[in-house]
Structure 1
Amino acid sequence: MGDIVRKKWMTMMDAHAGTIEQVYGGPVGLIWEILAGEDADRDTGALAERTELGRESRVLALLSGPGGAARRIARDYGCTVIGLVAVPQVVDEAVRRTKEAGFAGQVDFQQGNALDMSFHDGVFDDVWGEDAWCYVIDKDRMIREVFRVMKPGALSRSPTGSRSGR
C-alpha cells in the first residue's frame, strides 16, 4: 500500500477523524476491497472452519460492512445470517450484492447500533465480528451487547488483527 493511501487510510480509521461511512464508502472502501479483500475472505474461511455452524444456525454479522463474510458463512454452512450495519448506504450496497449472489432471504442486513442492538436477548448461535470492531470506542459496551444477544453457550469470534503478513 502506498504511503499516501496508507496515511489517508490511517487518518480515516481514527474514529475521531471521520465516520464509518468515510472508511467503508466510496473510493477508500473500494481500495480496501482491492488490497485486503482476498485476505479478509481467507481469514473468514479459516475462522469459520473452527465453528459448529449448520443449517439451523442463526448468525449475527456485527458491523458487517458490505457483507462479504456474511455471504461466505451462509454459502459454506447453509445458516441464516443477519448483518448489522451502521451506515444506510452500506446496507443498500450489502443488500444489492447479496441479491446478486443469490443469497436474498438467507442473508439479510439492517442498519443499527452495535452499542444498542434492537435484537431480543439470546437469539443468535454465533456473533461474527468484523474488522470494523476496531472503530468502536466503547468496546466494553459492545461486548456486553454481544453477550446479551447470544444464546447461552454461543460463541463470538472476530478476525480483527489477523491479517496474514500485514
Structure 2
Amino acid sequence: MVAVPAVVSQAYERVTAEFDKLSSTQKYAVGAVGGLASLYLVGSYLFKSDNTKPTTLQLTGGSIDSAKVKAEFDAYADSYGKGAGEGIVDRSKTVQLVDVFYSLVTDIYEWGWGQSFHFSPKLPGKDLRASEAAHEARIAALLRIRPGMKVLDCGCGVGGPMRTIAAVSGAHVTGITINQYQVDRAKHHNAKQGVAPLTDVVRGDFLNMPFKENTFDGAYAIEATCHAPKLEQVYGEIFRVLKPGSYFVSYEWVSTAKFDAKNAEHVRIIDEINFGNGLPEMRTYKEAEDAGQTVGFELVMSLDLATASVVAGPWYERLRMGKYTHAINHAMVSAVDAVGLAPKGLKDVHHMLVEVARSLIQGGETGVFTPMHLLLFRKPEAPASK
C-alpha cells in the first residue's frame, strides 16, 4: 500500500486521466504547486503536536515512542535475510516484528489508503469505495451470517471491514489484532461511526487467541493470515474457536501458478512484497488450501478473485492511479521529517511503502502474485452423540 490522500481517492480516475494529457512541463508545474500546498497542510493538519489526544489523524510511530521509530525500523529491516527467497530469518520473532510493522505503518495506511487495509477489484461503474465495500460485503454472504450471530475478524487492523460486515449483516463482529494502537484506532472509529454496539476489538496473538472453543458462528481474515509464521498455526486457532458447521473465509496473499522459483525476477518481486508488508514468507495458493485441510477444515471454494472476473479492473489499479502523487507525498514526508515535525525514521517507512507499491504492481502485471485468493472453509459438523 502507498500513501495517496484518502480524501481524493474517489477522484483519482478523473484526475489521472486529465493529468496524463499534460506535457512534461505542465506536469512538473502541477506537481510543484501540489507539493507546496501539501507541505502547508501538513503543518496545520497532519502533524499537530500537543499533549492532548489528537482529534485529527497524525503520522506517528503508533505504539512506538517517537524517539525510537528509526531504531525500530532499522531493526525491522535487518530481520530480513539478504538471500533470495529468505524472508524473515528468525521466524520465532515474526509476531513481534508484525506488531512493530503495524505501529510503523498504520497512520500512513490510514492517511493514504483509508480504514480498510486491503485491495479490492475495481467494479465497472463503481468508485473505489463502493468496490471496497462490495469486496467486504461478499464475506458476510459467504459466511451466511445474520443478526444475533457472533463473528470473528482475524487480524482486524483499524476495523474498516468489520464496520461494513457488521452493518450489512447485523451480526456482532469481534476483531483481534496484535497491535494495541490499531485496537485504539478501531474502537475510536467504531464509536464515531455508530457501530460500537455490534463490534468489539481486542489485542491478542491470533496464534493463541483468548477465546473459548466453539465460540463463533463464522470467521474471516482479509489479507491478514499471511503474517503468520505458519498458516497451520493460525488456521488451527480459527478452527478451534469456530462452532461446528460454521464457515471461515480468507482473502490470502499468495503466489500464483505463474510464479517460477527459478526466475530471478519473480523471486525479487516476491521478496520485495514480503519485506514491504511484514510477511515472513510467501506461500502458494495450494499451500494455503492444504494448510486449512490439514487442521480439519473442509475446502468449499478456492478462487483467485484477481482473475475471476473479466470485467472487474485490476486489483493494483489503485496503486497505478497514484503514480504521480507518490513522489510528491514522499517529498512532503521527507520535508516534515527534516524539520522535526514527524518522528525520525518515518521517511524510511514511507519510502519502503512507495517502493513496495512498485513491486506489488509488478506482481499483478506479471500475474505471479495475488492479494485476494479466496478460500472458503467449513468446520465439519460435530458427530452425532450416541
Q: How does the TM-score come out when normalised to structure 2?
A: 0.37
Q: Tell whether the 8 Å contact from 2:143 to 2:249 is kept in structure 1 after alignment.
A: no
> What amino acid does structure 2 have at the position aligned with 1:165?
P
Q: Give the one of 157, 177, 188 matched to 1:96.
A: 188
Closer, same or farther: CA 122–78 of 1 in aligned 2, 3 Å: same
From 117, 123, 146, give the equivalent of 1:54. Answer: 146
Give 1:75's match in structure 2, choosing from 141, 145, 167. 167
Q: Measure the CA separation in 1 of the matches of 2:225 and 2:133.
A: 17
Match of 1:30, as an amino acid? W
Distance 1:20 1:160 in 2: 19
Cα pair distance change 1:28/1:100, threshold 3 Å: closer
Which residue does 1:30 correspond to in 2?
Answer: 111
User: SS of the residue aligned with 2:251?
Assistant: coil
RMSD: 2.6
Question: Deviation at 1:61?
Answer: 0.4
User: 2 CA distance for matches of 1:28 and 1:63?
Assistant: 15
For 1:49, what is the secondary structure of its paired residue? helix
- Find runs of 4+ consecutive structure 1 residues off by over 2 angstroms: 14-20, 28-42, 46-51, 159-164
Kept in 2, the 8 Å contact 1:47–1:159? The answer is no
Q: 1:40 to 1:138 in 2, by over 3 A?
A: farther
Q: Give the aligned length.
A: 156
Written as runs of structure 1 = structure 2, the 5 A alignment for 1:92-131 is 92-131=184-223
Aligned to 2:252: 160
Find the counterpart in structure 1 of residue 16 from structure 2.
none
TM-aligned CA deviation for residue 136 of structure 1: 1.5
1-structure distance, mates of 2:104, 2:114: 11
Q: CA deviation at 1:52?
A: 1.4
% identity of equivalent residues: 23
Segments of 5+ residues of structure 2 without an aligned counterpart are 3-76, 81-86, 89-96, 120-127, 254-304, 307-312, 316-386
**Who wins on radius of gyration, i.e. which is larger?**
2
Q: Give me the whole-angstrom Cα distance separating, in 2, the residues matched to 1:20 and 1:76.
A: 31
**Greater CA drift, 27-36 or 38-47:** 27-36
How many angstroms apart in 1 are the aligned matches of 2:192 and 2:314?
32
2 CA distance for matches of 1:112 and 1:158?
Answer: 19
Q: Which range moves more in the overlay, 136-145 or 94-103? A: 136-145
Normalised to the residue count of structure 1, the TM-score between the two structures is: 0.81
Residues of 2 paired with 1:31 and 1:118: CA distance? 32
Aligned to 1:6: none
